[in-house]
Amino acid sequence: MGTAAATLTGLMFVVTTLIAGIDAHLSILNAAVSAFNTPTVVQFGAVLLLAGILSAPWQTFSSLSLVLGLLGLGMVLYLVIVVRRMRRVTHYQSTLEDWLWYVSFPLLCHVLLIVAAFVLPENPVPALYMVGLAMMLLLLVGIRNAWDNVTFLAVERAHSENENKNKNVEVREVGKTGHPKNKSSK
């Protein structure tokens, strides 16, 4: 899972290059990247971090439990920031689907990590299954959200390019008087 998370994190950099062709105000693009792209990269990073944490030679389950609990808690706090960012995105109204995939499902994963942290010292086997489930879900949510970002940005980029082409055509059609030429007269 760590390898998949690292690879998908790299692909998110490619996704971000799609933003370059979108004709929108910089603050709008920054708000959208902060609300939707960055959390996806953070989720992939969390899976990569969890893979590293689980492969470390821990002396006691209580030490691992503390680290998992702190990571889960930190990710919940980060989701609070994501919610604030999603509400600040102008010119886009987040849908129920956005709230589920960018907030609710990741929250479920982070709560799983926190529960696993409490269960781990007494019952390590089910706790580690919970951590594995949280990692798998975070990876799947991240893949879905990356796909959502790619398709949205590709459509927005195509729309911006079409608008720019239409503007260029209008500029060429404007006559010396500053009014558009009458297309019916030659």
Summarised one tens digit per residue, pLDDT across range 143-157 is 899 888 878 777 766
Q: What is the pLDDT of residue 38?
A: 86
- Kindly indicate the confidence band of residue 172, based on its pLDDT and cuts at 50, 70 and 90: low
State the Cα–Cα distance between residues 71 and 139, nearest whole angstrom.
16
Q: What is the pLDDT of residue 128?
A: 97
Over pLDDT 90: what percentage of the chain?
A: 49
- The whole-chain average pLDDT of the chain stands at 81
State the Cα–Cα distance between residues 161 and 173, nearest whole angstrom.
19
State the Cα–Cα distance between residues 142 and 6, nearest whole angstrom.
12
Mean pLDDT calculated for residue range 114-129: 97
Summarised one tens digit per residue, pLDDT across range 46-91 is 999 999 999 999 999 999 999 999 999 999 999 999 999 999 888 7
State the Cα–Cα distance between residues 93 and 87, nearest whole angstrom.
8
Mean pLDDT calculated for residue range 130-144: 94
State the Cα–Cα distance between residues 130 and 181, nearest whole angstrom.
68
State the Cα–Cα distance between residues 103 and 60, nearest whole angstrom.
32
Lowest-confidence range among 88-97, 111-120, 149-158?
149-158
Q: What is the pLDDT of residue 34?
A: 75
State the Cα–Cα distance between residues 108 and 116, nearest whole angstrom.
12
**Does pTM surpass 0.95?**
no
State the Cα–Cα distance between residues 136 and 148, nearest whole angstrom.
18
The Cα angle at residue 18 between residues 108 and 139, in degrees rounded to 5: 25
Q: Where are the domains of the chain?
A: 1-6+38-152
Q: What is the pLDDT of residue 176?
A: 47
